[in-house]
A and B are shown apart, each in its own frame.
Chain A
Amino acid sequence: GAVVSQHPSRVICKSGTSVKIECRSLDFQATTMFWYRQFPKQSLMLMATSNEGSKATYEQGVEKDKFLINHASLTLSTLTVTSAHPEDSSFYICSLITGPRVGMGETQYFGPGTRLLVL
């Protein structure tokens, strides 16, 4: 069964609005979750690493004030795209690891993804 869920699966919003994407761990207490973005026909790009109870670690070039990450519990991490613009339209995917780090592929699980379209 599914290990990670994301909500919503699709969202269309107007430019300038904020969108919150939830990532839930269904079977594990995930201390670490990852947020990725994927543009059409491109590779996955890691945006940030979300750590429960502490500030997220953002990759170079990712604006932390624009992409707010909150990992308030061991089963929920949220990504908020603030003041969304059309160039933020993308496929956002979260993943979690069940061990202390990604050492084996079996311990990394991806959510189903959220497709964001900003008009």
Chain B
Amino acid sequence: GQNIDQPTEMTATEGAIVQINCTYQTSGFNGLFWYQQHAGEAPTFLSYNVLDGLEEKGRFSSFLSRSKGYSYLLLKELQMKDSASYLCAVMDSNYQLIWGAGTKLIIKP
């Protein structure tokens, strides 16, 4: 079956760095997405990786290793507004998005 695993919850301190991991097993691979979702709101796009390596976008970076079925989202200089759920999603060979359950990130002052 198809499976996306990410931690349920993480806690970090304002100003620090946090890494959210995602491992996946899917039938085929056409890219991995990270989305941010604040409580009660729809997800917003953060990043897309289809090739191995690190993609950097300001305070957020995303890494992909296709051979390991592994990705991480790195958040630097954490701000209180970064408190949200972070969803990992993989596009399979049929271009269907397989969603992880999300990681709830709690930022403490």
Q: Which residues of A contact B (CB under 8 A)?
A: 42-46, 91, 93, 95, 101-106, 108, 110-113, 115
Q: Tally A-B pairs: CB < 8 A.
A: 45
Closest chain A CB from B104 CB (angstroms):
8
Q: Can you name 22 A-B residue pairings with CB atoms under 8 Å?
A: A43-B99, A43-B100, A44-B43, A44-B87, A44-B99, A46-B96, A46-B97, A93-B42, A95-B42, A101-B95, A102-B91, A103-B31, A103-B95, A105-B33, A105-B45, A105-B47, A110-B43, A110-B44, A111-B42, A112-B41, A113-B41, A115-B40
B interface size (C-beta, 8 A)? 21
Please give the residue numbers on chain B whose beta carbons come within 8 Å of chain A beta carbons, in ascending order: 30-31, 33, 40-48, 87, 91, 95-97, 99-102
Which chain A positions have C-beta within 8 A of B87?
A: 43-44
- Check A106–B40 contact: CB distance below 8 A: no
A86 to nearest B CB, angstroms?
A: 19
The interface residues of chain B lying within 8 Å CB-to-CB of A95 are 42
Are A42 and B101 also in contact (CB < 8 A) when A105-B45, A108-B45, A113-B42 are? Answer: yes
